[in-house]
Amino acid sequence: MILGFALLGVVLMLLSVPLFFVFGVSSAAIAVWGMGLPSHTLMQVSFDAVSKQVLVAIPIFVFAGNVMYYGGSARRLVDLGVSAVGHLPGGLGIAMILSIAVFSAISGSILASIVAIGSVLMKPMIDAGYPKPFVIVLAATAALMDALIPPSNTAIIYSSITHVPVSKAFAAGVLPGLLLGAMLLVYVMWTCRRMDRPAPQPWRRRVRAFAIALPSLLLPVLVLGGLYGGLLTPAESASVASIYALALGLFVYRELTWRGFWKATRGTAETTAVIFAIIAMAVYFSIIMTYTKTPQALVQFFLDYNIGPITFMITAGIGIIILGTFMEAVPIFYLTLPIMYPISTALKIDALHLYVFITGLIGLGLITPPVCVGLYTAAAILKTPPQQAFRAVPGFFTVGIIYSAIVMMLPWLATWLPRYW
């Protein structure tokens, strides 16, 4: 019976049934009819999973990012990036990477970064002669920084599963996120080195762009300063970010209309509903792992055969890349961490090191077919069939693999900064 329900879940996944429904049907059926657990236990577990205090910050950070988009803050960040580096090789691509990096320190949502920055910058890049596939995949890949640079929704979810302090998970993503951004900058500059470049903008225009964008640039300082200064919790820092973003849109840039506010609120509700539905249903898989003691058996297997940390991380990384081709980040966390986290603990792999390593590999799923949610989102902005962008994927995928290898071999990238919080 258990095998039958497991196969049902696989079939539903292959039929592109929403993942929260797949988890809810197959895992709940195994737990209730295959293992004899009472159904009211599952209901209680789901409620406990979505009512964790740390998760409160997710919808508020998503809302802050949406408000920045509709309120004009995101466009000011793009204008600043273009005026500062637009004359360099691949200048508009560099501006996109830098703009997403700054926006990542505010929104916490990968798709919000793609929409907010991509909607402003992708079409001008096409008009400037950048290949459309390159532009689409660049936007999707650069948004991976949003999964690493705090505040990050992936860090919040990882913390809720592993009970690692969310502030330390935030800090762990800073250096890896900057490393990824630097690698993308090098790749873009090398790829676009022969393209025509505009003349540098006058310093007066650059200073003006900086002055206009300064209120938006202060938002990450306000949020992260309050968080790491011990003044604000993650949820409180998200609330401050939302209020500040509303103030910018209403009183500074004066671009946030009631229509834009409604779209920001609706987008937040849709994103939050998807995330929390997956969390509520995916926790059933953790119950099955607990009752069957599968993680303990796998831990013993790795210990008995003297499998080392590097071998484990390589094996786990390959599995995550495969899962990332047809699953999103949240379900992958809930599917893999109940198994991987106990093994990594037994092998003395730091929890923060594991976080940045698997987050980078999960992020590659943003651009790897067939699901590649990030690539589809970027292609939709340009109203382009996503299949046309697939030929630009290998180069960026290679950058992601090199990044993951560096992070795997240099754990201090994840563990150094959290020592101070």
Same domain, 46 and 32: no
Residue 215 corresponds to which amino acid? P
Same domain, 21 and 151: no
Same domain, 27 and 56: no
State the pLDDT at residue 371. Answer: 67
Same domain, 12 and 137: no
Same domain, 141 and 61: yes
User: Distance (Å, rounded) from C-alpha 284 to C-alpha 287?
Assistant: 5
pLDDT mean for each 10 residues of the chain (421 residues): 59 64 72 72 76 81 86 88 86 90 78 81 86 91 86 87 89 93 94 82 89 89 80 84 92 92 90 80 72 70 78 87 75 82 90 92 79 79 84 91 94 91 66
Same domain, 19 and 86: no
Domain residues for 319? 38-420
State the pLDDT at residue 13. Answer: 60
Helix 57-70, helix 153-162: angle, nearest 10: 180
User: Distance (Å, rounded) from C-alpha 168 to C-alpha 158?
Assistant: 11
Same domain, 31 and 146: no
CB 156 within 8 A of CB 114: no
State the pLDDT at residue 351. Answer: 94
Residues in the chain, how many?
Answer: 421
Give the DSSP per-residue string, 170-233. HHHTHHHHHHHHHHHHHHHHHHTTTS--PPPPPHHHHHHHHHHHHHHHHHHHHHHHHHHTTS--
Going by C-alpha positions, the residue among 131, 18, 22, 45 that lies closest to residue 392 is: 131
Same domain, 72 and 112: yes
DSSP 8-state class, residue 25? I
User: Distance (Å, rounded) from C-alpha 295 to C-alpha 288?
Assistant: 10
CB 196 within 8 A of CB 77: no
Same domain, 94 and 24: no
State the pLDDT at residue 197. Answer: 77
Same domain, 59 and 1: no
What is the tens place of the pLDDT at every residue in 194-251?
A: 887 777 888 888 899 999 999 988 888 888 888 777 788 888 888 888 999 999 999 9
State the pLDDT at residue 373. Answer: 75
What is the tens place of the pLDDT at every residue in 166-176?
A: 889 999 999 99
DSSP alpha helix (H) spans, 293-366: 294-304, 309-324, 329-346, 351-364
Same domain, 23 and 80: no
Mean pLDDT of the chain: 83
What is the tens place of the pLDDT at every residue in 278-332?
A: 777 777 777 776 677 766 676 777 777 777 889 889 988 888 888 777 777 777 8
- % of residues, the chain, pLDDT over 70: 90
Buried/exposed code over 28-61 (b: 16+ C-beta within 10 A; e: otherwise): bbbbbebeebeeeebeebbeebbeeebbbbbbbb
State the pLDDT at residue 44. Answer: 78
In this structure, the dihedral spanned by the alpha carbons of residues 315, 320, 322 and 326, taken in order and rounded to 10 degrees, is 170
Domains contained in the chain, number: 2
Residue 348's Cβ-count burial label (10 Å; 0-12, 13-18, 19+) is exposed
State the pLDDT at residue 10. Answer: 62
State the pLDDT at residue 108. Answer: 66
Same domain, 21 and 132: no
